[in-house]
Amino acid sequence: MYRTHNCGELRKSDIGKQVTLSGWVQKIRDKGFMIWVDMRDRYGISQLIFDEQRTSKDLLNQAKSLGREFVIQIHGEVIERASKNQNIPTGDIEILVKELTILNSSTTPPFTIEDNTDGGEELRMKYRYLDIRREPIKKNLILRHEITQQVRKYLSDNSFIEVETPCLIKSTPEGARDFIVPSRINEGDFYALPQSPQTFKQLLMVAGLDKYFQIVKCFRDEDLRADRQPEFTQIDCEMAFVEQDDVLNTFEGLITDIFKKIKKIDINKFPKITYEQAIEIYGTDKPDIRFGMEFVELNDVCQHKDFNMFNSAELVVGIVVNGGNTFTRKEIDKYIDWIKTPQVGAMGMVYLRCNDDGGFKSSVDKFYDQADLKNIAEKTKANKGDLIMILSGDKNKVRSQLGALRLELAKNLGLRNSEEFAPLWVVDFPLLNWDEEENKFHAMHHPFTSPKPDQIDLLKTSPSSVKANAYDLVINGNEIGGGSIRIHNKSVQEQMFKCLGFTKKESEEQFGFLMNAFKYGSPPHGGIAFGLDRLVAILGGSETIRDFIAFPKNNAGRDVMIDSPSKISKEQLKELKLKQDL
Ligand code: ASP
C-alpha cells in the first residue's frame, strides 16, 4: 500500500500513529545532524524529520541523497513538532521517518515549484505538468472543477439535460474563422470544428428537449489577442417557450447560485441597461460598474467659446475623478501621455481642477473664465477637491478612449477590487452592424438571433435600425455570457440571411438543414452561452484565463509543451490529398 494518509490530513490528534505517505520532495533543510523534508501531494504538505539520535545512519544518508521533486514513500510515526508552523494545517506535527523508499528520482526542475516561482510564463507552459504541481495553479483547477460540478447540479436540478453535440461539423458563422479538418474518406471535403453548438442546440429545441445544456469546447480561429484561446469552454444553454426575461431570470439564478455556493457571496442585483446606454455612459458594451465615473456629455457647456478643439468636436465628454485634485501636474501629464499612445489613440485631454476654495484651474483657462468652468463642474456634479478629465472628437472614438481612461484610472486608484463582483445585463443590441470594408452587414450576435418582436418588419425596410432580442451578461467589465431569443420561423430566417448578403442558394446550402427543421413545428426558443474559462478566472480573482486552463495555448496560439501546431508527414498529406505548398 502506497499510503495510509495523504500529505495534507495529519493533525495533532494523529500524534502517535504509524503512517505511510507518498509524494514529492518539495524542500530539504539539511543541518547535518538533522534533516527536514517537506513532502507534498495534491492535498498538502507534511514535514518529515530524520535525525542522528532517532534515525539510523543508513536512513540519514538515504535522506541526504534526496533531491527536489523526487517521488518518495515513507513510513514513520506522527510526532509533535518542536516549533509549530501556523501557516499550514499540518503545522503542529511532523513525521519521524523510519523507512524511506525512493519511488522515482527527478532531475532539477527548470523553475522552483513554489507559490511564487522564478519561472517565466513560457517556461511554465512548456513544463505545465510541473506548473500544475504549484499550489496556485492546482487551486485554480480545483476551483474550475467545483464550478463545473455546481453548474451541472444547478442546471440539472432545474430540468436542463446535458446533451453532447458533435465536434466534426460544418461551418457555423459566429463571427470568427473556422478551424478546418480534412476528411480522408470524403476526398476534397472538410469538416469544421464548432465555433459553438448554436445550430445543434436549436435543433434540440425543435426536437422537443425543452431545456438543454452542455459544458463544451468551442473553437475559433481568431487573430491573436491577449488572453484569448483558440479553443475555449462554454456553458452552453437553450430553452424552448421562453421570452427574454425568462432566460435572464433563469440564468441570474445560476450565477447567483454559483457565487453563493462557491464564493459564499450573495449577489442580488442584476441591473439591466441597454447597449446604447452602456456606450453613452461607459464607452463600452461591457462596463465595469464596481465604481462610478460615469460619462457626462458637455457639448452645451463647452462649445460657446473660441476653443476650436471643442467647437469642432462631435462630442465633448468628461468624467469626474473624486478627490483627483490631489494629482500632481506630473501625474496628470502621465495620463495625457497614456491616452495619446497608439493603443488608445486620443489627441489630447483637457482637465479641470476643482479647488478647495471653490475656484477652478483648468488647462484651458485661456478660453474659459471661472463662470464657464463652474458651469462645466456643475454639469458634471463635481465637488471641491475633484478633478474633471475631458476628451473630445468623433463620438465613437472619443467614447471608447474615455472608456479606456476610466478603466485605467480605476485600476490605479484601486477601484477594481477583485473580490467585489458587479454583474449586469446589457440588452437591446443592434441586430446588424455595417462592415465598411466588406460593404455589407454582419450579424452583431449571430445570424440566428431574432429581432425585437415588434421590429421584424423593419428587417425589410430599415435593417440598420433593428434592435436584436439579444443580451450579454457582464461582470466586472468582462463579457461573461451572451445569448438571444432565436428566429424560429423559416421566412424570417431567410430574410435575415438576405440582409447578411447570402444568396438564396448560399443560405440553402449552408443552413438548409436548419430552415428545413423550422418547417416541422419549431417552438419559440432562446438561450445563452457563458465563457467558462473567464467565469472561473473572475471567481478566482484574476483576469488571466490561461491560469485556469490545464493545458493552455500561448498568445501565439501555440501549445509550447507538445509543440503544436506542427508539420504533418508526407504520408499524412498524401492520404488527405493535401498539397504542402499551395
Ligand atoms: N452561440 C452563442 C455564442 O457562442 C451563444 C448563444 O447565442 O447562445 O456566443
Listing DSSP states for 527-582 in one string gives EEEEEHHHHHHHHTT-S-GGGGSSS---TTS-BTTTTBS----HHHHHHTT--TT-
**Are 482 and 529 within 8 A, CB to CB?**
yes
Whether residues 248 and 315 share a domain: the answer is no
* Predicted pLDDT of residue 173: 63
Query: Over its length of 582 residues, how does the chain's per-residue pLDDT go in tens digits?
Result: 999 999 999 999 999 999 999 999 999 999 989 999 999 999 999 999 999 999 999 999 999 999 999 999 999 999 999 999 999 999 999 999 999 999 999 999 999 999 999 999 999 999 999 999 999 999 999 999 999 999 999 999 999 999 999 999 997 666 789 999 999 999 999 999 999 999 999 999 999 999 999 999 999 998 877 778 999 999 999 999 999 999 999 999 999 999 999 999 999 899 999 999 999 999 999 999 999 999 999 999 999 999 999 999 999 999 999 999 999 999 999 999 999 999 999 999 999 999 999 999 999 999 999 999 999 999 999 999 999 999 999 999 999 999 999 999 999 999 999 999 999 999 999 999 999 998 999 999 999 999 999 999 999 899 999 999 999 999 999 999 999 999 999 999 999 999 999 999 999 999 999 999 999 999 999 999 999 999 999 999 998 999 999 999 998 999 999 999 999 999 999 999 887 664
Q: Please name the residue whose Cα sits nearest to atom 1 of ligand 1.
A: 198
Residue 473 CA to ligand 1 center (angstroms) comes to 12
Query: How far, in Å, CA of 365 to CA of 91, rounded?
Result: 64
Whether residue 559 is contained in a domain is answered as no
Which of 445, 450, 532, 535 has most ligand 1 atoms within 8 Å of CB, for mutation? 445
Q: Please name the residue whose Cα sits nearest to atom 4 of ligand 1.
A: 196
Eight-state DSSP code of residue 445: S
Tally of structural domains, the chain: 3
Query: How far, in Å, CA of 63 to CA of 83, rounded?
Result: 21
**SS3 label, residue 293:** coil
DSSP H or E run through 441: strand 440-443
C-alpha cell at 387: 478633478
Query: How far, in Å, CA of 557 to CA of 565, rounded?
Result: 8
* Predicted pLDDT of residue 227: 79
DSSP H or E run through 433: strand 432-435
Whether residues 429 and 540 share a domain: the answer is yes
Residue 529 CA to ligand 1 center (angstroms) comes to 5
Whether residues 342 and 394 share a domain: the answer is yes
Domain of 450: which CATH number?
Answer: 3.30.930.10
Whether residues 428 and 403 share a domain: the answer is no
Whether residues 295 and 354 share a domain: the answer is yes
Whether residues 254 and 364 share a domain: the answer is no
Query: How far, in Å, CA of 96 to CA of 295, rounded?
Result: 65
Whether residue 341 is contained in a domain is answered as yes
- The sheet carrying 470-475 orders its strands as 161-162, 211-219, 231-240, 525-531, 478-485, 470-475, 423-427, 272-274
Query: Which residue, of 415, 435, 470, is where some domain finishes?
Result: 415
DSSP H or E run through 73: strand 71-80
Query: Among the atoms of ligand 1, which is closest to the Cα of residue 218?
Result: 4
Residue 449 CA to ligand 1 center (angstroms) comes to 9
Query: Which residue, of 391, 415, 439, is where some domain finishes?
Result: 415
C-alpha cell at 577: 490529398
- Residues enclosing ligand 1, CB less than 6 A? 174, 196, 198, 446, 482-484, 527-529
Query: Which residue, of 374, 394, 415, is where some domain finishes?
Result: 415
**Are 165 and 193 within 8 A, CB to CB?**
no
Whether residues 235 and 338 share a domain: the answer is no
Residue 528 CA to ligand 1 center (angstroms) comes to 6
> Which ranges of 178-230 does DSSP label H, i.e. alpha helix?
198-206
Whether residues 229 and 313 share a domain: the answer is no
Residue 218's DSSP bridge partners are 232
Q: What residue type is assigned to position 429 of the chain?
A: F
Q: Please name the residue whose Cα sits nearest to atom 8 of ligand 1.
A: 528
Query: Among the atoms of ligand 1, which is closest to the Cα of residue 470?
Result: 7
Query: How far, in Å, CA of 215 to CA of 380, rounded?
Result: 45
Query: Among the atoms of ligand 1, which is closest to the Cα of residue 449?
Result: 7
Whether residues 401 and 428 share a domain: the answer is no
Whether residue 282 is contained in a domain is answered as no
List C-alpha distances in Å: 363 to 137, 296, 321, 367: 48, 18, 16, 9
* 3-state SS, one letter per residue, for 454-473: HHCCHHHHCHHHCEECEEEE
* Predicted pLDDT of residue 172: 66
C-alpha cell at 1: 500500500
Residue 197 CA to ligand 1 center (angstroms) comes to 8
Q: Please name the residue whose Cα sits nearest to atom 7 of ligand 1.
A: 483
Give Rg (Cα) of the chain. 30
pTM metric for this prediction: 0.94
Whether residue 122 is contained in a domain is answered as no
Minimal CA–CA distance to 223: which of 179, 177, 192? 177
Whether residue 253 is contained in a domain is answered as yes
Whether residue 157 is contained in a domain is answered as no
Domain of 42: which CATH number?
Answer: 2.40.50.140
**SS3 label, residue 158:** coil
Whether residue 64 is contained in a domain is answered as yes
**SS3 label, residue 177:** strand
Whether residue 277 is contained in a domain is answered as no
Which of 160, 169, 174 has most ligand 1 atoms within 8 Å of CB, for mutation? 174
* Predicted pLDDT of residue 171: 73
Q: Please name the residue whose Cα sits nearest to atom 6 of ligand 1.
A: 483
**Are 263 and 147 within 8 A, CB to CB?**
no
Sign, CA torsion 483/484/485/490: negative
Give percent helix, percent strand, percent coil of the chain, each to the nearest 5: 30, 25, 40
Query: Among the atoms of ligand 1, which is closest to the Cα of residue 238?
Result: 8
* Predicted pLDDT of residue 581: 63
Contacts of range 455-460, beta carbons closer than 8 Å, 24 or more positions apart: 456/492, 459/431, 459/492, 459/495, 459/496, 459/499, 460/495
Query: How far, in Å, CA of 346 to CA of 336, rounded?
Result: 9
Whether residues 463 and 398 share a domain: the answer is no
Residue 310 CA to ligand 1 center (angstroms) comes to 41
Residue 229 lies in domain: 162-272+424-548
Domain of 343: which CATH number?
Answer: 3.30.1360.30
Longest alpha-carbon distance in the chain = 93
Whether residues 265 and 349 share a domain: the answer is no
CA 245 to chain centre: 25
* Predicted pLDDT of residue 225: 77
**Are 402 and 339 within 8 A, CB to CB?**
no
Query: How far, in Å, CA of 447 to CA of 489, rounded?
Result: 13
Whether residues 409 and 384 share a domain: the answer is yes
Residue 169 CA to ligand 1 center (angstroms) comes to 16
